[in-house]
Amino acid sequence: MAKMRKVTVLRGVGSLLDAQNLKVEATEGAVGQAKTGATQTVAFKRLVIAAGSQAVRLPFLPDDPRIVDSTGALEMNVEAEKMLIVGGGIIGLEMGTVYSTLGSRLDVVEMLPTLMTGADRDLVKVWQKFNAHRFDNIMLNTKT
């Protein structure tokens, strides 16, 4: 998709030199952490920084193959009859809608008072209206 829009994608650690130039130290690896030693300076008109994310490991959860993060959820070979989604953020709810479509029953636990914190509240209300049937329980202000 980026190529179709003539977007150059670089993986690395970047430093803005000024309003139109970026220095990038290239990285490699699945998470992109190991620096390769290659450095380049890139001039740009428009810059998009896509930082990505990593799942947080919750220390109170045991090491159990039934407990997966968003990457593990994408790699599951088995359809789960019932799932608990810990966290009502965009990625967890997206995974929930996928597994709901595949037939899983879902509960969501979110420690904050709303789903998708940081998203536009009006859009969240619309999302909740259209997706309420996918979830057995949505528990807000709740800690596991």
Hey, which of 5-14, 19-28, 44-53 has the most confident mean pLDDT?
Answer: 19-28
Q: pTM here?
A: 0.61
Give the domain range for residue 131: 70-139
49-56's contacts with Cβ under 8 Å and 24+ in sequence apart are 49/14, 53/91
Claim to verify: residue 20 and residue 81 sit in the same structural domain: no
In a domain, 128, yes or no: yes
Mean pLDDT, residues 13-31 taken together: 83
In a domain, 54, yes or no: no
Hey, which of 15-19, 25-29, 49-53, 64-68 has the most confident mean pLDDT?
Answer: 15-19
Q: Residue 30's pLDDT is what?
A: 56
Number of domains observed in the structure of the chain? 2
Claim to verify: residue 86 and residue 121 sit in the same structural domain: yes
Distance separating alpha carbons of residues 107 and 135, to the nearest angstrom = 6
Distance separating alpha carbons of residues 83 and 76, to the nearest angstrom = 13
Domain CATH code at residue 106: 3.50.50.60
Claim to verify: residue 39 and residue 77 sit in the same structural domain: no
In a domain, 2, yes or no: no
In a domain, 122, yes or no: yes
The proportion of the chain whose per-residue pLDDT surpasses 90, expressed as a percent, equals: 39
Distance separating alpha carbons of residues 79 and 39, to the nearest angstrom = 44
